[in-house]
Amino acid sequence: MSFRLKILGANSATPAYGRHQTSQLLQVENCYFLIDCGEGCQMQLMRYKERISKIQCIFISHLHGDHFYGLIGLLNTMSMGGRKQSLDLYGPPDLAEVITALLRCSRTVLSFHIHFHALSFREPVKIFENNLLTVTSIPMEHGTLCAGFLFREKPKPYRINKEFLPEDVTVPEILYLKEGKDLYDAEGKLRYRHSALTLPPRKIRSYAYCSDTRYQEKVIPHIQGVDLLYHEATFMQDQSARAASRFHSTTVDAATIAKKAAVGQLIVGHYSSRYKVLEPLLAEAKRIFPNTVLAIEGQDYLLEE
Ligand SMILES: [Zn+2]
Ligand SMILES: [Zn+2]
């Protein structure tokens, strides 16, 4: 089962050196989530042959332009394609007003319905749930209402070990085994222990998106032990004063959070346009958290089960 993150835009405020503003696509099996929607997002989706029609939910972290100026264009393209399926849109309360005004002024009536969900920014809140996973919003410290997002798979069933499965086990009993229950006969006598007939459940995978934010340790318990963390690293450490004053993080900030939260892997991104070459940012982060990689547009980051 796939758990795939595609970076569509990895830059901050303005495009630079071929890099676009922030957006990402997360695929978990047949669920497609768009995280932020910077300018050019739909062009990037087309460039990397991602099907726009498959996106079910869009999560907008905050209302700085580099995170949502691509949204109205994307919605328009969905509508031109005749989309009928409703879309769930999550973001700060003002986002609804912006979208409504743009549609009204351009006399656009979308072909589909938008369910708008206003985010809360005081504490972590579970904002989405289906049979596969949950999504939780996490407050960021960015000088404006801003949320990160945690995507976590739900507990998975035990796997039937077909090699050892006796013929007299019925279909309802198989469901019991998958729940980790032992099988008993009508007299209450143990027939089979589930541990003898099953393999452990597959791994629960998780991804946390922390952008934009200045260094904040209170995020750590909420992202503790995630497999994959994207944390903004707008600046290198020599610009730490600038980073703090603009409510952004440095490579060292991002790597320190990753280390303290004991995550599996760190992706740094949201690069300032002052950096043409990114390897020095990577090197600086790796000194603190070795399993760091750069956010590269068009690249897939996969989590194995
Ligand atoms: Zn930004
Ligand atoms: Zn911002």
Tens of pLDDT, residue by residue over 176-222, are 999 999 999 989 999 999 999 999 999 999 999 999 999 999 999 99
In angstroms, rounded to a whole number, what is the distance separating the alpha carbons of residues 142 and 66? Answer: 14
Interval between CA 43 and ligand 2 midpoint (Å): 22
Same domain, 132 and 206: yes
Q: Residue 252 maps to which CATH number?
A: 3.60.15.10
Structure tokens given for 146: 């801003």
Structure tokens given for 102: 């743009």
Provide the number of structural domains found in the chain.
Answer: 2
* Closest ligand relative to 12 C-alpha: 1
Same domain, 47 and 178: no
* Closest ligand relative to 142 C-alpha: 2
% of the chain surpassing 70 pLDDT: 100
Same domain, 56 and 121: yes
In angstroms, rounded to a whole number, what is the distance separating the alpha carbons of residues 243 and 253? Answer: 10
Same domain, 181 and 64: no
DSSP code of 247?
Answer: T
Interval between CA 280 and ligand 1 midpoint (Å): 20
Interval between CA 64 and ligand 1 midpoint (Å): 6
Q: Which residues contact 210 (CB under 8 A, 6 or more apart)?
A: 138, 140, 148, 219, 223, 229, 230, 231, 232, 257
* Closest ligand relative to 147 C-alpha: 2
Burial 182-204 (b: 16+ CB within 10 A, else e): ebeeeeeeeebebeebbeeeeee
Interval between CA 222 and ligand 1 midpoint (Å): 21
Residue labelled with tokens 């086990």: 169
Same domain, 46 and 177: no
Query: What would the mean pLDDT of 32-40 be, rounded to a whole number?
Result: 98
Same domain, 146 and 267: yes
81-123 confidence digits (pLDDT tens): 999 999 999 999 999 999 999 999 999 999 999 999 999 999 9
Same domain, 140 and 245: yes
Domain hosting residue 106, numbered range: 3-156+202-302
Query: What would the mean pLDDT of 36-59 be, rounded to a whole number?
Result: 98
* Closest ligand relative to 64 C-alpha: 2
* Closest ligand relative to 234 C-alpha: 1
Interval between CA 210 and ligand 1 midpoint (Å): 11
Same domain, 250 and 106: yes
Same domain, 100 and 186: no
Interval between CA 115 and ligand 1 midpoint (Å): 25
227 is catalytic: no
Query: What would the mean pLDDT of 268-283 be, rounded to a whole number?
Result: 98
Q: Which residues contact 169 (CB under 8 A, 6 or more apart)?
A: 177, 183, 192, 197
Same domain, 52 and 81: yes
Interval between CA 273 and ligand 1 midpoint (Å): 12
Last residue of a domain, one of 173, 199, 225: 199
Same domain, 166 and 134: no
Q: What is the pLDDT of residue 1?
A: 83
Structure tokens given for 8: 């569509």
Q: What integer best gives the mean pLDDT of the chain?
A: 96
- Confidence label for 305 from pLDDT (cuts 50, 70 and 90): confident
Same domain, 104 and 234: yes
- Catalytically annotated residue among 66, 212, 227, 253: 66
Interval between CA 59 and ligand 1 midpoint (Å): 14
